[in-house]
Structure 1
Amino acid sequence: MSTVDSSDLILVNKLPKPEEIFKLKNDYIEGEPLKFVWMVEEHLTETLWWPSKNNEENLILFVIPGNPGVIDYYFEFLNTIHNELGKKIDIVGVSMLGHSHGPHNPHLKNLYSLQDQIDHKIQCVDKLRSQFTSQEDKKQPKFIICGHSIGAYVGSQVLKARPNHGIENIYALFPTLQHIVKTPNGMMLNFLFNERARSLAASFVGNLRYFVPQTLFKFLVALLTRQKESMIDITLSALLHGHVVENSLYLAGLEMETVCELDEELYREHLDKFIFYFSEGDGWAPLEHYEDMKRRFPEGRVLLCESNTPHAFVLNHGEVMGKKVAGWMLTLIELTLNRV
């Protein structure tokens, strides 16, 4: 699996027009993503963008990652979607604020709350809507929001704040939408999310990076995580830095406090827009949550994965899930064409 190169990030105020792409990156290959630091309001935003070849539907897939919110982990998943759809839609994915190391994250003392992350994603959609509105006929873009884990909750809050912004669907993948602290993983790991524990974890990671030789550090990460090479590289370069670890744990603690009772009214009001996708062995969005959603919304698209794909699907099942999501999108596109 190829990955994007973080060594030559480009700061942009808005995503470039197709004819400007080659000016910004001479080695750009059609069908691969461009990696930018995109200025969204006052936030430097790590962004992956798969430009469309010919987006006649003016459809944007906007992707919100789970925690830790490193968009690079989603490369294989999103690249598969883009290829399956013939490169005919725009895909834009952004990292969570403070969740990856790099020039886009200069304020190393900032801790971003769950509400900060929600507000930022609303701002992203606002900016994309403005940029992708046709100058000729003022045709506004349509959005599909794909949120993974807590990203599904964030996506639902974007819809709540912007119900009239052309959001056609929300794909809630392995969604954490209620009582996260009561889930198997929530109960097991909640002790890590208090201020003292997360500070100790951040210091430990920082010291490891400083004192342990890089080759040994990589070996230890590979041994402990059992990730494939491309994912280990992302974990080392983007995630395993003290300030990033602290932000990730800080957000997790707020998720435990905030995401409690299901916002049934919101999901019932917009039920036709949602696909909820669960997996039986998921420790963060367990089978009980699937069964509860089926009971509450028997007419909704509440799906259970037949192959028990893990919660962290991006690590080893990106292609499989990419084909699944592309299939949903093709159905939506066909329905849209039939309505015209």
Structure 2
Amino acid sequence: MNKLLLLTMGDAAGIGPEIIAKVFRDAPDDMAGCAVVGDVATLRRAAALTASPLALPVAQLGSLADVAGLPPHCIGVLQKCELAAPVAYGQVNGLAGQAAADCIVWAARSVLAGEAAALVTAPIHKEALAAAGGWAAGFPGHTEMLQAEAAAFLGKPVSEVPVRMMLANDELRTVLVSIHMSLRQAIESVTFENVLQTLRITHQAVGNSLGRAPRIAVAGLNPHAGEGGLFGSEEQAIIAPAIAAARAEGLDASGPFAPDTVFMRARHALGKPGEFDVVVAMYHDQGLIPVKYLGVEQGVNVTLGLPLVRTSPDHGTAFDIAGTGRADASSLLAAVRMARQLVVG
């Protein structure tokens, strides 16, 4: 099996190139067999933040086959975007947005074609994507862009390639019913079909990783999971029937549980395993805040439902510290390690 991992550089104005340089510097064993899809000059600038260019060389690769010949600590870069010069740190730039999008598309197509085993994406900036204009501006983030690429590869409409976001660390996994949309739209997205589809995707993806059927907890939408209808009817009218349908299909799903306690019940703490393997949350912040509170530096974002493995760190571009050399690369390294685990699984 092809074990090559591709890392996309993310937004060139953010911390993505820097954290990539740091994982190559600090974890050469983990980064063996990895290549960066990005801009050579941008990666060389990032390498200079973390070590002298001689100590952390950046090599332009002619093809994926060249990765095998790279020595430890050497960053191999496939130049798959156009930047006349590295962009200014910490500023929204349409050129950086377009470059990031070009790298994502090239890398995704390579993984879908079987030329690489998995994709690890450094953070992008949604405003930069919008500023790029054209096709890149049509995507609010990685998830939607990768969904479109997967659909094109499979010859299906996007609606037939449903995807979900999972955020995970060693203590907690959570999968979201809705992703990047307003809270009002997210509430409207809590439908029987969407909840059941999320449960099916979670069962398949997490089950593949664990090697067994996962124990899935489902969070309610309203405080106290609706308190029997006193605080909202979605639990009774939508979420509970979706759980019942999933259980009829053989899924180990239960709930809906009060959102303010279910994540603690699922947490795998030292010496105290959680009651559940994963929690399905109804919207973005409901599910992501508990995982990030446990430690942004260890969280990994995984896109479920794609015909490829894609992971990423659970933080953004951090424009406020870009270029200072202070960015923490722990989450990116965790994403690389999880990608390898998922490929093996």
Instruction: Give the alignment's TM-score, normalised by structure 2.
Output: 0.30
Structure of greater Rg? 2
Which protein has greater RCO, CA pairs closer than 8 Å, 6+ apart?
Answer: 2
